[in-house]
Copies of this chain bind each other. A is one copy, B any other.
């Protein structure tokens, strides 16, 4: 039947929100979970230079379905960006935008504070 849509990702990938549209509370809530904090840390301190880390390469103490949930939460909060490549997915920190919108936040989370 009529395929009106042109090329939507088969899996429900919602449009990445503008960072300006995101309030602090949402970001804080997203970061207030140990697993998600761990994700952000791995994303921040890695050779993400290219296009982020593959989800499967991020080691987490939870199952895959739970990890999916957390990835979704992070992206909905505007913290991460996702890129699909075949059956694999790459997640990356929206570092520049975060640093501009919320100066110091990423450094804080990553643990760049203290001497």
Contacts and interface: CB of A to CB of B under 8 A. Distances in A.
A114 interface: yes
- Candidate in A28, A34, A107 with the most chain B CB atoms within 10 angstroms: A28
Contact of A104 (B32, B37, B105): B105
| SS class, residues of chain A in contact with chain B | helix
Interface in A21-47: 24-25, 28-29, 31-32, 34, 37
Interface residues of A, number: 20
Contacts of A105: 104, 108
B25 A32 contact: yes
Q: Which 8 pairs across A and B sit closest by C-beta, in order of nearness?
A: A104-B104, A32-B32, A28-B32, A29-B32, A28-B31, A103-B104, A102-B108, A28-B28
